[in-house]
Amino acid sequence: MKPVVLHPEADEEYAVAAKHYANISRQLGGRFYDEIERWILEIRKSPAQFRQYEPPARRNLGRSFPFAVVYLDEPDCVWVVAIMHLHREPDYWKRRLG
């Protein structure tokens, strides 16, 4: 299983979204956190299983929350470039690719 590395801005997105849901209810915040962690674990186990979104990036979409984990399958790690809200600007994370 590959290690995961979150882009600093993806890490911030994750924290902001988790806080948002936790402010609604502690249980909802916990469910959001658990779901994102499960998505990341699925990606780590088999990064190539998810569709390419914007090559070379791939994404894992959730069912319970309007978010996706956008990542690159690097040789030595899974690089998460965005914890992306699906109802916002879709391409904002591309500038993070360098």
Q: pLDDT digit of tens for each residue in the chain (98 aa)?
A: 999 999 999 999 999 999 999 999 999 999 999 999 999 999 999 999 998 988 899 999 888 999 999 999 999 999 999 999 998 888 889 889 87
| Under 8 Å between Cβ of 80 and 6 | yes
Beta-sheet pairing, 4-6 with 57-61: unpaired
| Under 8 Å between Cβ of 84 and 93 | yes
Is cis: bond before 56, omega within 30 of 0?
yes
| Under 8 Å between Cβ of 95 and 10 | no
Q: Give me the pLDDT at residue 23, please.
A: 97
Q: Give me the pLDDT at residue 14, please.
A: 96
Task: Write down the residue that tokens 């190539």 correspond to.
Answer: 48
Q: Give me the pLDDT at residue 92, please.
A: 87
pTM of the model: 0.92
